[in-house]
Structure 1
Amino acid sequence: MAKGKQGISILDSLYAWVPGVVGDYKYEADITIKPGSKIRLANLTYEPPRNGPTLWEIGIPDRSAAEFYVPDPYPSLMNKLYKNNHSNKFRQYGLWARYEELYPNHDLIYTIGVNNYREDWFYAHVTRNIGKETYVGTTWQIRFQLNNLISQGNYTLQLALASATSSELQVRFNNRSVVRPHFSTGLIGGDNAIARHGIHGLYWFFSVKVPSSLLHEGSNTIYLTQSRGGAPFRGVMYDYIRLEGP
């Protein structure tokens, strides 16, 4: 911010996003706003991130996890205000704990072409209580087929998060036990959307390069590990996931 003779001038930037499209638009130059000024910009075109054809996708790029599976609330904790309001079903208390009931023996496994994200993709990637209030990270799997692996070039995993709270999302391809993940977000997030009965918080977008050497012709598995434990509300909400070919 700079103060001139006629008052205060503000140096600003222009950002935008479009429902149904991943990523953020940022105008290439800073804009100086002065008192009484009128600024007219030319037609602006946003080219969303894409490196190749869509092989499969999960969710809707709308910066919300509302399209995923939101479980029924505990009867004893039900807020009657939202009892018959499906669009606000996520506002019920304690829904995150339903994850352990749905997946008591293993974490979520989602198979492309078989499962439906509206019914089979839990709305929040949360920790697991292994007893005595000890919470550990969890690993979800996405299984898919590649009938014609292109050995030259890179595939791309477009990964959009609707929320994150004290989390680290690690991505591994076809090898769950490799110590160093093929991609990690690092420690991110602090919006507490899960604890606050929300369905989105601060948006995060990552475009992950996937060398073809990490993939197989035939069956493949992507492992999504939220590695940070220690508390029930550490987790992420996915917005949209897309795998692109070279």
Structure 2
Amino acid sequence: MNITTSGLIRWSGLAAIAAGLIFAGIQPIHPADVLASVTTSTWTIIIGLKFAMCLFFLIAITGLYARQAEKAGWLGFAGFALLGVSFWLQTAFVFVELLVLPVIAGPLPGFIDSYLGVVNGHPGEMNIGALVPTYAVLGVCYLLGGLLFGIATVRAGVLPRWPAILLAVAAVITPAAALLPHALQRYAAVPMGIALILLGYSLWSERRGDEVVASRAHAGNPALDQAQTR
């Protein structure tokens, strides 16, 4: 099998679908961000899925941008870069949640309360340094990145319009979700997940369609195959 740029972009569509499914699917079953949760098996499974989601998202956003880079312009690049930084930072936070917090739950409960307080809106008493402003930077990059990338995608006209609009809107409404109870805030991620699924499917099916058309063209014109063998 030859590895081609178009093939890699197509496979990134599957990464977008996987990221979207995890992002939207885990919200109703995500354990509470409290000390008692971090040593449970449910926490390990859900946070493990989140860790995989971060990787899938980084692959997905790269493929989505690469597919429309020439037409998305600097606006698309800015959105791509900001979303990349957001999920790069998110990966670090999820890594700590998955592999560090369960280990220190016994000796350092105060740190866990303060760490999870960054997410659940109930800051603990321990000073956790730059983690608080870093999480704020993550949120700003997510908001601006999603908005700019969605607008650039609509303007480029390469990928479907409505999923791109949904992506932009989902990013913008995220700050408003902070006004809701934390248990409901998570559902603001569902529209973003749906947007990723739709964009990823478009990327995957588009490239697959091109390959089918090319295959039929060769089958209907033996001269093409003969020319390629010379």
TM-score between the two structures when normalised by the length of structure 1: 0.24
Q: Which is richer in helix?
A: 2
Higher RCO, 1 vs 2 (CA within 8 Å, ≥6 residues apart) = 2
Q: Which is richer in strand?
A: 1
